[in-house]
Amino acid sequence: MIGHLFKKGRPSVRVRKWTGTRGSALAANNGQSLLGDYWGGYVFVHVDDGRTAHVLRDPSGLLPCYVRRGRDRVVLAGDITDLASPGPRQVNFHEIARILASGDARGRITCIVDVEELIAGECLTVEKEELRVEQWWTPWDHVAPRHLDIEEAAAQLRETIADCVGAWASCFSSILLGLSGGLDSSIVAAAATPRAGRLTALTLVSPGFTGDERPYARAAANSLGINLRDAGFDLADIDVGRAVTPQHPWPISPIFKQAVAAIHRTMELELAVDAHFSGNGGDGIFCSIRSVVPLLDRFLSEGPRLPLAATIRDMTTLTGADVLTVLRRSWARYRRSGGLHEPRFNGYGLAVDLLPKISARGFTHPWLAAPVDALPGKSVHVAFLMRAQKSIELYPRRRAPPHIAPLQSQPIIELCLSIPTWNWIADGSDRAVARKAFRDLLPKPIIDRTQKGGPGEFHLSIYRLQREHLHALLREGVLAASGIIDTSILDEPEDPSWRGNAREQRILALAAAESWARRWSFA
């Protein structure tokens, strides 16, 4: 057993060693009982008497597991650098194009040749000459509603979050929590505080009105009695030619994360940090939907009954659209795909011949294959969960504290999947069940907050300061040479209005991918 394991209960208890017949019971079914009786962030390996190896990655995805198949062996690692070294023909450029084209394009294949990811909830079996991968856990097994009203669902969610986040907090002596003052990170702070040894909150400050969230972070920290630190981004920490997270097998980390890493390194030394906590994934786990699919879900589940009017009202409040517009868009969505989630592709800045090939292949992640009876909103909810699991690892564990995103714990995910999507938009608020669950524990400005700031202005300042370097990087880079990007995006006239931001952000994303690809292309 590699990683952290907890026995389900109230409270959940960390398992540090097997006692009695517990280990024998797990061996008897190759670890399948872990999925019902335990949770955590782990990889379970069992070699049976017939020398068949079974490797199970837990449903949270909190511990990475990458696989490289060789001629006579299979090697697994939690760090991509243990499986491959930079050099010629190491980069899968077609997969880079897919990742750049869509957030839904990521599947089992990585951007390193011959290296795959064992997806959360999957079991890899190695038996003589045969390798097979099976889904032992899938989110679709947990979407059936538990028939709780919203008050009951909120109470269960609060208890489950308190248990899971508290269990994680008890594992570390000094936690640095990223606290933006948004709902998700504030919920993590509230749940972690009672069982944390020492918890320090950190809010990051970037230029612009939306980049300074200290008032919200301060309100949350003061209400919970936790120490709050703040730190500003520094452009001096940015090197656009350096790969942001070369330990990730996909080039998906934005360039501004270099400034975050510099702040974290300083804090780790000062505070003797042994774990980073965050509210990452909260939007997806708490089903932060702003489309018409909750209305479709309720209609398809209950028919044209009176409660449907309440969901229509919630949709108009949430989106600002009138009733006729909501109904028209609901019908249009249902006619297009039965309302189910469809991957979206963005070919901006990519070679023109790539997008038809990429979109024709569609998605490859098994979670996106919805069952025939799937509700539209749940197909979106599952897609959110899939996206939340990418790049959980902030830094290589051998030289930095681990990053824990405790909201992605299996019991929390399974409970949230069972809550109907229309309950998540009750009273016209997104993440309504989570707001209700912590309404008496967090300040009203946090609970009622609907808009979120971020480092967008700082990210754009990187482009404006290093425009020439970024353009040269892409014109002379390996992505252009491999036919992945269309450098004509660099020749488009600058647009000083807010509309120009999309082009600048796209160039920054392409440059981050370019730096990653260069890092892995040259020994």
C-alpha 140: how far from chain center = 18
Q: Identify the domain boundary among 121, 141, 161.
A: 141
% residues pLDDT > 90 (the chain) = 82
Residue 315, domain member (yes or no): no
Residue 245 lies in a domain: no
Residue 393's pLDDT is 86
> What is the band of 25 on the pLDDT scale with cuts at 50, 70, 90?
confident
pTM more than 0.85: yes
Pairing of strands 275-277, 403-404: parallel
- Confidence bin at 21 (pLDDT 50/70/90): low
Q: How confident is the model at residue 451 (pLDDT cuts 50, 70, 90)?
A: confident
Among residues 89, 120, 141, the one where a domain terminates is 141
Q: Worst-scoring range by mean pLDDT, 18-27, 129-138, 150-159, 498-507?
A: 18-27
CA distance 389 to 108: 12
* Cβ density class 265-287: b for 16+ within 10 Å, e for less: eebbeebebbbbbbbbbbbbbbb
- Tokens 């990475």 sit at which residue? 64
Tokens in use for 95?
Answer: 């997969």
Here the CATH number for the domain that contains residue 104 is 3.60.20.10
CA distance 278 to 184: 8
Furthest-apart CA pair in the chain: how many Å? 70
Query: Does residue 68 lie within any of the structural domains?
Result: yes
CA pair distance 170, 39, nearest whole angstrom: 15
Cis geometry, peptide bond prior to residue 371 (ω within 30 degrees of 0): no
- Work out the average pLDDT over 390-406: 89
| Strands (E) located in 249-407 | 275-277, 403-404
Of the three residues 141, 164, 185, the one that is the final residue of a domain is 141
Residue 377 CB partners (closer than 8 Å, separation 6+): 287, 289, 293, 294, 296, 297, 339, 420, 421, 422
Nearest to 157 by CA among 409, 359, 334: 409
Residues 6+ apart with CB under 8 A from 3: 40, 41, 42, 43, 58, 62, 63
Within-domain flag for 16: yes
Residue 287 in any domain: the answer is no
Tokens of 514: 């370019």
Give CA separation, 469 vs 96, 321, 464, 515, in Å.
Answer: 21, 43, 10, 12
> 59 and 413 in contact (C-beta within 8 Å)?
yes
Give the neighbor-by-neighbor strand order of the sheet with 199-205. 227-232, 199-205, 175-178, 275-277, 403-404
Which spans in 30-173 are helix H? 34-37, 93-101, 150-169
Question: What is the pLDDT at residue 391?
Answer: 65
Q: What share of the chain is helix, strand, coil (3-state, %, to 5)?
A: 45, 15, 40
Contact 285, 388 (CB under 8 A): yes
Tell me which amino acid residue 290 is. Answer: R
Residue pLDDT, tens place only, 353-389: 999 999 888 889 999 999 999 999 999 999 999 999 8
Expressed as residue numbers, the domain containing 95 is: 2-141
Q: What is the pLDDT of residues 56-70, one digit of tens each?
A: 999 999 999 999 988
What is the domain count for the chain?
2
Lowest mean pLDDT among 125-129, 424-428, 441-445, 504-508: 125-129
Q: What is the mean pLDDT of the chain?
A: 93
User: How does pLDDT run across 473-497, given as a tens digit for each residue?
Assistant: 999 999 999 999 999 999 999 888 7
Residue 38 lies in a domain: yes
Query: What is d(CA 119, CA 133) in angstroms, rounded to the nearest whole number?
Result: 9
